[in-house]
């Protein structure tokens, strides 16, 4: 009986010791895992804070760029509107110049009754090359800032090509009865009309409207 009690006591001691060991092991494992979880939570919070900082900085930068692009867009529209305004002024003056050249040809050469001549030319159109060139030059001076270097070169080339017409017209008016001299001016006016067309086309292209190829 005593032996059984002793054995039971020993078993109880062993069980108690085992329980204590298991509890300590569990407690150590629990506290370790708890520490890991705590560390993980702190890491997540730190990462989240950093992500929010980057996100806020990114959003702020996007807003800044949007404002800058909006300002740039408005400036571009204003400049483009001014370029169109100047182009329309040049277009009207160049078209009037071409009408004058065509009407002069009709007056100096027999092109048929339906061909325009100086007699049917609108009253608001100047009747001298010098007046047209001077008007074009005035537009160039007034709106210099809205004309590109290429546009100014185009106009300068037209001035050079038509400048001889001023002297030619003075000579023709001094020799009004010289039909041969008058007829010799026709190719000059035809050349001027061709140059005006080229000038108009070049100025239009300078506006940089998007072409069909660019839109594709």
φ/ψ bin of 129: left (φ > 0), alpha (ψ from -120 to 50), beta (otherwise) = alpha
Residue reference for tokens 């300590």: 24
In angstroms, the CA 187 to CA 207 distance is 31
pLDDT tens-digit readout, 31-68: 565 555 555 666 557 667 766 777 777 678 778 878 88
With a cut of 90, say whether residue 209 has pLDDT above it: no
pLDDT tens-digit readout, 103-140: 999 888 777 667 888 888 889 999 999 999 999 999 99
Q: Do 121 and 103 form a contact (C-beta atoms < 8 A)?
A: yes
pTM for the full model? Answer: 0.67
Q: What is the residue extent of each domain of the chain?
A: 86-209
């Amino acid at each position: 009986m005593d032996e059984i009690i002793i054995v039971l006591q020993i078993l109880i001691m062993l069980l108690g010791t085992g329980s204590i060991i298991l509890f300590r092991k569990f407690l150590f494992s629990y506290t370790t895992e708890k520490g890991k979880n705590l560390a993980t939570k702190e890491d997540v919070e730190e990462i989240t804070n950093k992500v929010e900082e980057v996100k806020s900085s990114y959003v702020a930068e996007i807003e800044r760029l949007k404002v800058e692009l909006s300002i740039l867009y408005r400036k571009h529209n204003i400049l483009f509107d001014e370029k169109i305004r100047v182009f329309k002024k040049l277009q009207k003056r160049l078209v009037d110049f071409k009408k004058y050249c065509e009407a002069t040809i009709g007056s100096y050469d027999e092109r048929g009754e339906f061909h325009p001549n100086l007699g049917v030319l609108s009253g608001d159109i100047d009747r001298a090359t010098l007046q047209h060139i001077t008007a074009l030059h005035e537009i160039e001076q007034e709106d210099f800032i809205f004309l590109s270097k290429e546009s100014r070169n185009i106009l300068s080339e037209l001035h050079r090509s038509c400048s001889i017409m001023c002297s030619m017209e003075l000579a023709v008016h001094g020799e009004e009865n010289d039909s041969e001299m008058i007829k010799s001016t026709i190719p000059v006016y035809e050349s001027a009309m061709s140059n005006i067309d080229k000038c108009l086309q070049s100025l239009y292209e300078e506006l940089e409207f998007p072409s069909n190829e660019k839109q594709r």
